Each structure stands twice: as structure tokens, then as C-alpha cells.
Structure 1
């Protein structure tokens, strides 16, 4: 008899996914434009927050936000989604 384990009787072994097996997302041009636009808005929003924090720190206090909240938001990368302030 053959002592070589068959696929059904072999223990589960993880095999590395090759380039052909990796799942890739496919986006429509409209979706890509939307993603790029959203990231651009985040960059502008965080830049404006930083400018307001530098120029008018009392303005930030007037709207009831903590300086630490703004610093955390400003420090995020453009791909990170904002938490509601």
C-alpha cells in the first residue's frame, strides 16, 4: 500500500498565497475619484484645524473642543477617518 498521505487525510497546512491567488479590489473610476476626493478633504480639514489652533486658540475653546482632541485629529494620516469632534 501507499503510505503517502492523501489530500483528504493530510493535516491542514497553510500555503502561502502566490500573486495569482491574492484577492485584489477593483474600483470603478467614479469610486476612485470619490476616495481621492475624501482623502483630499481630510487633508484640508486637518490643515485648517492646525491653522486655527495656531492663529486663534481661543476660538477652539469657544466651540468647546479640547486642545488634545485637535492635536490628536491633526496628527492622523490622510487615510485615517476622523472621529466626530
Structure 2
């Protein structure tokens, strides 16, 4: 027997959402991970600016750019 006369609703596969939702748990984890990377970068930049200020020129930043980056607030406080 075949199902050639079955209604199309019985033959259709259920719709599957394969895309990433903008407010999913994975997106939240990604946002938190990115914030931690940026916070660590600012922490290391501040340490570098105080301990070895002569190395700031080696990474291609000015003192003003470093101070502006260090002064940035976390995303939830902007």
C-alpha cells in the first residue's frame, strides 16, 4: 500500500527551526563570554599602562586611546 491519497497534513514533516534565535541561551552565553574577554583585555591594558607604559607604543596605541578604552563601562551600565 502507498499513501498517495493521504491528506498532505499527514505527509508533511513537522517544521523545525534550525536557525539561532536572537534571545536564546546560547546567544546569552556568547554575550557574557564576549564581555569577559573585553573586561580581561581592559584589565591587562591597565596593568600594561601602569607597569610598562613604554610598551603602549609597541602595540600601536596612544596614551589617550588606552585611557579611553580603560574608562569604558560594561554593557549593562552604558
For the aligned pair, the TM-score class normalised by the smaller chain equals: 0.5 to 0.7
Please tell me the root mean square deviation across aligned C-alpha atoms, in Å: 1.7
SS of residue paired to 2:29: helix
1:70 to 56, 63, 66: 66
Query: After TM superposition, what 4+ stretches of structure 1 lie above 4 angstroms from structure 2?
Result: none
Cα drift, residue 78 of structure 1: 2.0
TM-score, normalised with respect to structure 2? 0.64
Aligned with residue 45 of structure 1, among 41, 44, 67:
41
State the distance in 2 between where 1:33 and 1:76 align. 21
TM-score (norm 1): 0.59
**Structure 2 unaligned runs (5+)?**
1-21
Bigger fraction of residues in helix: 2
Structure 1 portions without partners, runs of 5+: 1-25, 81-85
